[in-house]
Structure 1
Amino acid sequence: MRFTSTGRLVAAASTAVLLLGGAVTSAQAAAPGPVLYSIDFSNPQERDDNDLPEPYGRVFLQAPWGQQTALWEHPDVDINTPTLARYPDSGPYELRYADHLVTEVCAFVGEDDTGINVDDVLADGCVPVDGPGSYTVRGADGSVTVNLYDV
């Protein structure tokens, strides 16, 4: 009797994972809950008054089925895009709640160079998440590193 119940439970769990879009193991995904994080923006070619980037775009966590939780967003406001090397700039970390599994961190971030030359691309894509740690998404001209302290 015990063997049959366990077998049914395993079959039900396997079916649920397949319906979610593939085999997701606990090593590949963080469970829903609070996320403590910080973000570092890097543009090695920045050569203006303070040598700090003026990032715009979006950084988010993603579930295997595409659901997203935004970690940082800013529009490109040309000459008024603020300088920001790290987010948050006034504390060690920020807190968000992800109500889904987290399997990727994604960053699509540009860097404003209005009036100087063409905008730079700091990050353009996603990288897999397997728990707390630093995850760097690269672009043609720099990178964005998301530091996950608790996920």
Structure 2
Amino acid sequence: MHPETRYEITTITRTGREPLAHNPGWDGPRILPEELPPGVQVVTLPGGIRTLAYTQPPTPTAPAVPVAQPVPAWAKTIALLAPTVGGGIAAASVGLSYAAPGLIAMSHALWSAVALIAAGVIAVPLILRTARRPASPAQITQNITATGLFGRANGTINHH
């Protein structure tokens, strides 16, 4: 079938009960719309004759040829930065490997400083408390007197 030749294709609803083979002089068996297999339709040919024909779905067009698109600017930037970042990480790791003995010694010194501060926090109040105490403990005496069962009590407190 050439694209220039046009044929009118009509379909009959499948609810009617009229036979589909409607050609003059056709004495063959008649097919009802319910009996049509899938993909078969009634076609009117250029001479006016109506007949059954297989209809094919339109052929899919060939996929479009992919066109090369330019690389986005962000992708170029990332591609240029990747070796730089990798080189920086490599340089940092080499530097840390050379500095490792010094870092270990520094961490020991920091732990020693933390221990000294903790000991100072505990020891300084103890030393100050012992320095403030008098040589002898204070003596406190109380004299309380009361007259009668329900009498008022009087007392004195003496610090020596």
TM-score w.r.t. length of structure 1? 0.19
Structure with bigger gyration radius: 2
The structure whose RCO (Cα within 8 Å, separation 6+) is larger is 1
